[in-house]
Structure 1
Amino acid sequence: MSQESGARRAAVLGSPIAHSLSPVLHRAAYRELGLTHWSYDRFEVDEAALPGFIDGLDSSWAGLSLTMPLKRAIIPLLDGISDTASSVEAVNTVVLTRDGRRYGDNTDIPGMLAALRERGVERVTSAAVLGAGATASSALAALARICTGEVTAYVRSAARADEMRGWGERLGVAVRTADWADAAGAFEAPLVIATTPAGTTDALAAAVPERPGTLFDVLYDPWPTALAAAWAERGAPVVGGLDLLVHQAVLQIEQMTGVAKAPLDVMRAAGEAALTAR
């Protein structure tokens, strides 16, 4: 991986990676900021290939974005991680210094909070989480900062229920678990965060009440999901996966490039255009 004079490089790594919108968002920001010597690419990298990829980076590299399945696998390869990343044992951002040091952070959690704040959600008395994967633990970490009461997690197995209660204890959130078969009960909460794969919540769309609270559906493709569409039909606030992706990317760009403020609106417009073209 050769170094050009003055060139700065960044990229998103993961497997699969072809679907990633991160290059669209970061490149749009570079253009708007006049960072003509910066480039941002995507690389198909799995857990086995990650150490070799990291060892091959030269001093032209400024940062990495990480998606599944690398958010935990990267941690042993770093010189340090932030408290936010440590809280959920997941790193989605690596800043590479000129002297070769590697620092990990998690911008998903503050990205979630920023996306909610943009829709006027700064404090809730209770919340519900649909699902129990890695994104659900990030959701709990975000809720630890804005939810004053109980969070109910709707899950499919006893093992997942134990995991979510364990994350709750670690993050300082009162977590109650409920069976997925009762997931429509989530809609009584003022904030519902859906963290499940595409299609999982489609059957719940018919159960959306007349006056729901706020839905945060972390998917962005396909969009809108059936659940998000039903929610929007009720005139209630919906936060989508593109909102999360853009807000977490803003924080990544600011950390990697050192700019004070990444161009949120330009990045969102680029992401919307790319999704429309798919």
Structure 2
Amino acid sequence: MNSSVPGPGEAAPTAVPGVPGFPGGTAVSHLHVYDWPAADGLAGGSPHLHTASAEGYVVVRGRGTLETLSSAGFTETPLGLGTLLWFTPGTVHRLVNGSGDLELLVVMQNAGLPENGDAVLTYPPDVLADPEAYARATAIPAWADFPDAASAHAAMSKAARERRDLAIDGYLRLRERVAAEGGGALADLYEAAIGLVRDKAAGWHHHWERGPHGQAEATGRHIAELASGRGRHLHESALYTADSPSRPWRTGMCGMLQVWDLDGAHPIG
């Protein structure tokens, strides 16, 4: 999670002036969890964590399991139609596709942060300790690098599967440590994650300011207005929409996904 990390050359969109963000400053994507078997025989996505953002799931099709490593240790949570769950930053999560057709709606806190490096994959320690090696392992080719959609999809899927397998390699070792030692075994991963995002984190403030922080401040102003017997914001009421995704499904961390371009939202009427 998000699962919505762009490939090289895919920049995070910029906000349209005057258009309020999606409620809570969140982002929404539709995810088809990978059905590729991993080294342990289970099919699914790339284990990773988010350093500053919470993430939520609603299962809309199929069944599977969410594996997590957190302060509570190792947990397996069944997923079925209608399951709703969420987890906080630092929670290592791995989606397992039990039925071959597991689909989720993903709600990501802090729209823009995952696309700008908030997510860290559970590669082996030597890769996590080397930012250049981490970047090489994580890169996905861009559609524009290929002459047709078929060759682009094949190359992107190959790269996504290779990074998934590398993340599984590190994850399975880490899961054994957490099972034996508890959540404290995540300390080394957290230190590596901090090192990987430290130089990027200062640039995340504007996503937070124009997203959840800005919306919370607006709500505070609205409440103060109402408490004083005014409600000017009610006279600015409006309806907005974001067009259905039209670009090809892309290779995310956990599966093939489409992301609604909420920064391209526009008013109706």
Taking structure 1 as the reference length, the TM-score comes to: 0.23
Higher relative contact order (CA 8 A, sep 6+): 2
Taking structure 2 as the reference length, the TM-score comes to: 0.23
